[in-house]
Amino acid sequence: MPGMTTTPDRTRVPLPGISSRAYEHPADRSALVAMRSLSGFDTVLKQMSGLISERRLRLIRLASAVRTGDTQFRALHDMGRDSAYILDLPRAPEIYVQQDPKANAMAIGFDDPFIVITTGLLDLLDEEELRFVVGHETAHILSGHAVYRTMLLILTRLASRVAWIPLGYIGLRAIVAGLEEWFRKSELSADRGGLLCGQDPDAALRALMKLAGGSRLHEMNVEAFLDQAREYDTAGDLRDGVLKVLNLLGTTHPFAVVRVAELDKWRRSGAYDVVLAGDYPRRADDAHAKITEEVKAAADSYRESWSQSQDPFIGVLRDVAEGAVNAGERIFNRFARRDN
């Protein structure tokens, strides 16, 4: 693609002490800062997880998948070590290769998380595209998304059990919908983290495009795919806007055109280059991150998104959403004044 260059291995830039706040989407970052500030929140989630046993899941992979190392999937193993080194993780997570024709990857676990890559994904991506995916999962680990995503899984299961209680189900469904929106934003965060690990914008966009269109890269074009994203944003009338909202219900990942457009936008904004130049928040300062500032950043991000969107349905909802955001800011500002 014109204007994009591939960064050779020897010049890939490490990011010592980097905080996940450097790449997290504002809506994701504000939620994470708020949850991290709640004393004992992680412990409660781990206790609530019940059937989700990290040790059990790791043993399943140990017995049924292939663990990468110096003698098994060496290249993939090295990518994991490189990603951990660039994001300055204390140790590289284990990576397992699972036989599955569906292209997928996931980060699993709380205290000792590991990564699972399917054979379908290995067959689909080239080396640099795969490096982006490994970096994406490593970024999930640095952000601690696995712990917080447990809450979504627990509430989703609970909602299915109380579906026969109309009011209870409606209330839980609203909470789950909000968590799904955060989940989707966390994927945008991890895409940025994956780009910081691979430091090859071309490969990152190719990987995301292949997840939509498969391996026939010679039949695809990133600029044309970005045109699809613009058409998706502007398409149709109010009916299409409503349908786009309905299509997101129950989903935890943004659609492929949205991910490509958002990652390309973040890179072109200059934020990517700023981080590589060493200007980024440090992990040592995470405890001092202010919830009110992060909520304001999230609100500003949504405002910018709404103002740039050509979706007619977004135009109808903009005033209502703006009022909700303003109300949320007032609540947080009131608590902030009490703390001062």
Q: What percent of the chain has pLDDT over 70?
A: 59
Mean pLDDT along residues 279-286: 92
> What is the C-alpha separation between 26 and 210, in angstroms, rounded?
27
Decide the pairing of beta strands 66-67 and 95-98. Answer: antiparallel
Determine the straight-line distance between the first and last CA of the chain, rounded to whole angstroms: 51
Residue 250's pLDDT band, with cuts at 50, 70 and 90, is low
Q: Give the pLDDT confidence score for residue 259 in this predicted structure.
A: 94
> How distant, in Å, are the alpha carbons of 72, 148, 151, 286 from that of 36?
37, 10, 14, 9
Q: Give the pLDDT confidence score for residue 306 in this predicted structure.
A: 45
Non-local CB neighbours of 168 within 8 Å, separated by 6+ positions:
162
Q: Percentages helix, strand, coil for the chain, rounded to the nearest 5?
A: 70, 5, 25
Residue 257's pLDDT band, with cuts at 50, 70 and 90, is very high
pTM: 0.78
Residue 136's pLDDT band, with cuts at 50, 70 and 90, is very high
Could you give phi then psi for residue 18, rounded to 5 degrees? -65, 135
329 in catalytic set: no
DSSP SS3 for 95: strand
Most confident region among 72-81, 151-160, 249-258 by mean pLDDT: 72-81
Residue 314's pLDDT band, with cuts at 50, 70 and 90, is very low
Non-local CB neighbours of 198 within 8 Å, separated by 6+ positions:
7, 128, 131, 132, 135, 204
> What is the C-alpha separation between 48 and 32, in angstroms, rounded?
18
Mean pLDDT along residues 28-57: 61
> How distant, in Å, are the alpha carbons of 155, 158, 161, 184 from that of 173?
9, 10, 12, 16
Residue 289's pLDDT band, with cuts at 50, 70 and 90, is confident
> Active site residue: 137, 180, 187, 262, which one?
137
